Amino acid sequence: MPVDAKTKYKAKKIKIVFFDIDDTLRVKKTGYIPESIKAVFKGLKEKGILTGIATGRGYYGVVEEILDLEPDYFVTINGTYVINRKGEEIYNQPLAREVTEAFVAWCKEIGIAWGFAGKDKPVVSERSELIDDAIVPIYGICDVEPDFHLTNDVYQMWTFAENNGDLKLPEELAAHVRLVPWHEHSSDVVATGISKASGVGHVLEHENLTPVNAMMFGDGPNDKEIFDYVGLKIAMGNATPELKAKADYVTGTVEEDGIFNALEELGLVEKELHFPQLDLDTVEGPVATIKTNHGDLVIKLFPDHAPLAVTNFVNLAKSGYYDGVIFHRIIKDFMIQGGDPTGTGMGGESSFGGSFQDEFSEELYNLRGALSMANAGPDTNGSQFFIVQAPEIPYAKKELERGGWPAPIAEAYAENGGTPHLDRRHTVFGHLVDEASYKVLDEIANVEVGTQDKPLEEVVIETIEVTD
């Protein structure tokens, strides 16, 4: 869904973006991290926006792929231990010894297992299938040290129980810590008054920022406090209903590139575009050879960008539909047009029957050599196509850039020619691949024409061969 104006206004104030890890940056069960996450961190850095991880995990539980993104801050163990990317401590607040001792005593009394998040490692009170099911996807196999709290600082504790959802802390413990469920059989046991939100607060204070300058991406219960705190909150498509209700915007899931898409909508990152027409050698796709009575026009097709147009063209070509058809309209320094079996410019239909819709890509343009669909208005594509021959344009590169064309495309137009005024009006679906084809194109463009720009001597498509 589109981002509303209020949310876009909030985005203009953002100076730092925080991310939860599990099922936000990364799918917890599979470890999958979309490739777009690299573009997210790179794009935010280029815009001077800081990044932070805000997680229930300890720093030792942050996977290598996320460390490689070089976040500026790590709010770890639900806000109790905060460092910058140099490892310098911003905040360090372990639990009091009497609290950890009372917690262990309670666990023993009700007969459940427990665990501790230390500064440098996590430990559990015992090994069991129930504990491993919860903790191994996060930290791997943990050491068994039931008395860890007696000789080490503890920042957070865990309960492990079959009936975890029914657990309730006794009053004396509830005055100091609270339960935050995160797994069917486990809850974080976190100090009262401390959360990922308070940890983020220490980062903002360190950077002289305020909550309105912060954005958070999250999905679960331990993101509730931070959603109440920051200026802009984005829930993942897989987030809990409670978190979605608090969000300014609900994006897609991890697998759907939810983070990148939300930030792009908000104008905080830009999609990394690749222009196949500027690097044809690296493009995979079918090649069509239009054999004419003036020579061959060899064209690389772009099925990933214009699947309908390519499928239509290939189907018609392989069926022999274009065999013997003429280029019925030729305008020197503009384009050559064909594909109408009636030779009038008024006929032809698609391989689907009738016409089909336009396919406009941010990565394809009507540069000199482009193969595009001819039409009679929006979404009226049939069998007719044209090849752009214009060797020059009446605009300067800077004019095109100011008009919104990407710099590499503006440069290609300025150097080689084309018809930028046809962009977003005609579907580009292929491009000439070699100099020999351009020579044939120019030769055809220079033939003598009569009324309605029809050649006096027919320029014939003998056949079109397609190799996959």
Active site residues: 20
| DSSP single-letter state for residue 67 | H
Phi–psi pair at 268, nearest 5 degrees = -95, -20
Q: How far apart are CA 16 and CA 44, in angstroms?
A: 9
Contacts of 402 (CB under 8 A, 6+ apart): none
* Dihedral sign (CA 242, 245, 248, 253): positive
Q: Strand, helix or coil at 321?
A: coil
- For the chain, report the end-to-end CA distance as a whole number of angstroms: 37
Q: How far apart are CA 384 and CA 348, in angstroms?
A: 7
Contacts of 435 (CB under 8 A, 6+ apart): none
Within a 10 A sphere around the Cβ of 78, how many other Cβ atoms?
Answer: 29
Structure tokens at 53: 């991880």
Secondary element (H or E) of residue 83: strand 81-84
Q: How many helices (H) and strands (E) does the chain have?
A: 14, 22
Q: How far apart are CA 459 and CA 463, in angstroms?
A: 12
Triad 79, 83, 92: Cα angle to 5°: 55
Q: How far apart are CA 449 and CA 183, in angstroms?
A: 75
